[in-house]
Amino acid sequence: MRNSFFTTGAIRLLEVTKVKVEDRLYLKIKIVKMDTSLISIITSIDGWFKAMEPMTYGLPYEKAAEFHAKTYNYMVVWKADGDSMGTLTGGVDTDDIPTEYIVDYRPKKELRPYQVQGFNLLMQRDYLLIADQEGVGKTPQILCSHEAKCKLGLIKWGLYVTKASLIYDIYNQAKRFTGLKVVVLGGPPKRRSELYAELENSDVQLVIVSYELYRQDIESLTFLHGNKPFDVMYLDEAHEVLTPSALV
């Protein structure tokens, strides 16, 4: 799958802090999850240097725009100076994100201005962590951007993984905000087996599945993906799967 989107805590590849040393500003960049491609990106920017801390690099602050452009599709957590707990204090600066749709699209039910900004970010990026507080409407942004990408021919279908208790809430929101053709994976094994076969030749645009069933049916989902690849995967309540051994 070429795209992935998360609606809460996910693996953080980079933590970046703006620091001041002897009246000069720098970016302090900590690689949280080892990835040699990230090291290559950092060291490709003039002025980089290795910091004293393990897996930590520095850049002159004036290189921030270049750093941002080169790490555009990576998971980056921007921290405040002195934030030793690793909490996300800022996030993406939305000041320059328009509150009007950047593509020709209108949902069935209008989004709030900040949701339109989220929609616009989702339209522009291949990876994005949406970490807004609970209850502000993260799901409609995802569903509407998914429908817009389908209409524009950017993707054909996707997989939405969530908690079992939220399955039909996601389904109902899809019906409320969009015209997406949505299927919920469920039922006894025989029915699910039939459904997997049907999905290979269907025009379904979004498949919703619980984490529990995802784990249980991973072979069937992998087989389906091999025959008809999902273009995008959404992980709802992603803090539930912080580690490979997490049980949901």
Please give the domain boundaries of the chain with CATH numbers for all domains.
9-79 (3.30.780), 94-241 (3.40.50.10810)
% residues pLDDT > 90 (the chain): 62
% residues pLDDT > 70 (the chain): 86
6 burial (CB, 10 Å; 0-12 / 13-18 / 19+) is buried
Confidence tier at 87 by pLDDT (50, 70, 90): very low
Other CB atoms within 10 A of residue 247 CB = 9
**Cβ 167 vs Cβ 208: under 8 Å:** yes
pLDDT at site 116: 95
Q: What is the C-alpha separation between 180 and 246, in angstroms, rounded?
A: 31
pLDDT higher than threshold 50 for residue 86: no
pLDDT higher than threshold 60 for residue 7: no
Question: Could you tell me the pTM of the whole model?
Answer: 0.67
pLDDT higher than threshold 60 for residue 90: no
Helix (H/G/I), strand (E/B), else coil: 176 = helix
pLDDT tens for each residue of 108-153: 999 999 999 999 999 988 888 888 878 889 999 999 999 999 999 9
pLDDT tens for each residue of 26-85: 999 998 877 788 899 999 999 999 988 888 999 999 999 999 889 887 878 777 655 444
222 burial (CB, 10 Å; 0-12 / 13-18 / 19+) is exposed
Residues 6+ apart with CB under 8 A from 95: none
Higher pLDDT pick, 227 / 13: 227
pLDDT higher than threshold 50 for residue 8: no
Ordered DSSP codes for 33-83: S--HHHHHHHHTSTT-EE-SSTTEEEEEGGGHHHHHHHTTTS-EEEE-TT-
Look up residue 240 and give its two tokens.
């539930």
pLDDT tens for each residue of 179-207: 999 999 999 999 999 999 999 999 999 99
Cα end-to-end span (Å), the chain: 22
